[in-house]
Amino acid sequence: NAGVTQTPKFQVLKTGQSMTLQCAQDMNHEYMSWYRQDPGMGLRLIHYSVGAGITDQGEVPNGYNVSRSTTEDFPLRLLSAAPSQTSVYFCATRVFSVKAYEQYFGPGTRLTVT
């Protein structure tokens, strides 16, 4: 099993460009989420999904869109990148259950917006 994969690992964008960060998992986890990590800020939740066709906003959703058409994939879209979106982005998954607590993190994508 590959677990949680993220592509690309690194990306540089110019202000105003758009791009999609990919997240895929092969563990059949219903719950998928996106976090951003900024220096001195810890990880903050952007969006999450509890199953195909269901998404919701987290703590810092502005400037990002998500959709969930399959269980395996949960892409994060930046429609018009801004320097404030320079960050490291992590995708995380887990079983959608009251008893499930362990999140499985992808390796992260480092995004720089100039």
Partner 1 sequence: AQTVTQSQPEMSVQEAETVTLSCTYDTSENNYYLFWYKQPPSRQMILVIRQEAYKQQNATENRFSVNFQKAAKSFSLKISDSQLGDTAMYFCAFMKQSQGGSEKLVFGKGTKLTVNP
Q: Does 23 bind partner 1 (CB under 8 A)?
A: no
Among 17, 22, 27, 44, binds partner 1 (CB under 8 A): 44
Among 19, 27, 45, 52, binds partner 1 (CB under 8 A): 45
User: C-alpha angle 62/20/110, rounded to 5°?
Assistant: 85
Peptide bond into 83 cis (omega under 30): no
Interior/surface letters 58-80, b for 16+ CB within 10 angstroms, e for the rest: bebbeebebebeebbebbbebee
Site residues for partner 1, 47-106, by CB under 8 A, read 48, 50, 56, 58, 88, 90, 92, 96-98, 100-103, 105
How many residues does the structure list for the chain?
Answer: 114
**Distance of closest approach, residue 51 Cβ to partner 1, in angstroms:** 10
Residues 58 and 50 sit within 8 Å (Cβ to Cβ): no
**Distance of closest approach, residue 58 Cβ to partner 1, in angstroms:** 6
Residues 22 and 107 sit within 8 Å (Cβ to Cβ): no
How many binding residues for partner 1 (CB under 8 A)?
Answer: 27
Q: Which residues bind partner 1 (CB under 8 A)?
A: 31, 33, 35, 40-45, 48, 50, 56, 58, 88, 90, 92, 96-98, 100-103, 105, 107-108, 110
